[in-house]
Homo-oligomer: A and B are copies of this chain.
């Protein structure tokens, strides 16, 4: 209910369009467009007038509108879906992607799906509705089928999976050599004489957890050890959980003499458990993923280090090679790990 005496004064001024610029410069919109795109065949004085008008009006190019008309219809943006953008492992992947994208003036959307398949799908669709040129995805553990993406790939969207493999879809993928990394670490423990080595991993339906368990088993076999199912534990990734589970493990009647923790936060939990029970010098520990404070630990904990930044860079490179016209068969890259203190 508004009185006619109080007209609705917009407190926001309308954005200048290319026509406004054209009018002020006394040229046509086409000429402005040409100047904006650095075309050569514009008279210098006209170009100057256009540039001044752009400045004067605070004109900002609208890439969405531009993209609509353009032939290739590239939006110069990509979408990144991670488990959690605030987890250092994933944010390093994110940064790797960003750096490669930035070199091509491509912007990056990012979203966390918190291991939720439904959220993952929602993010994919939201990105696609913004017409991203490509998608980099760390699949949620629960996603049963990525096949629906086939049609979008057909339509020209470049899709690359990182850290975990897609299901029911043949697409470019970059993962770490999880099995080999785990095998190396567990072999190290076995070589030191341990025969009862526990495996502490996260959700058993997680690709990386499965692969690391596989590596653990390979190492046992390799050293002539028999797996004791009671020593293989799967849990959530929260450090608090891991700590409680590890304490229970250590307080068993017949505890392990060594622990292989298959993930970052789990190593933290195991560390805490060893500290709380005062067993840090009795029970050996080795882990997957780097620890930022490894040097301050006594005794030191050897870890399998992956390179998440390289994971991200490599994924982005695969993505852009597709956008550059590569149409070959999907590439499956496996990046090595480094084991040590």
Binding site for B on A (CB under 8 A): 11-15, 58, 60-65, 67-68, 75, 77, 84-88, 91-92, 94-95, 98, 102, 105, 107-112, 125-131, 151-152, 154-156, 268, 271-272, 275, 291-293, 295-297, 309, 327
Contact of A293 among B13, B105, B268 (CB under 8 A): B268
User: In the docked arrangement, what's the CA distance between A112 and B95, Å?
Assistant: 8
Contacts of A107 in B (CB 8 A): 109, 111, 126-127, 130
Quick one: closest B residue to A151, CB to CB?
Answer: B58
- Known A-B contacts A107-B109, A128-B60, A130-B77; A86 and B86 likewise in contact (beta carbons under 8 Å): no
- Known A-B contacts A111-B108, A130-B77; A154 and B86 likewise in contact (beta carbons under 8 Å): no
Quick one: closest B residue to A13, CB to CB?
Answer: B154
- Known A-B contacts A86-B91, A92-B86, A107-B111; A64 and B60 likewise in contact (beta carbons under 8 Å): no
Quick one: closest B residue to A87, CB to CB?
Answer: B91
Contacts of A130 in B (CB 8 A): 63-64, 77, 107
Most buried by B among A67, A91, A131, A272: A91
Is B105 in contact with A95, judged by CB distance below 8 angstroms?
Answer: no
Contacts of A126 in B (CB 8 A): 105, 107
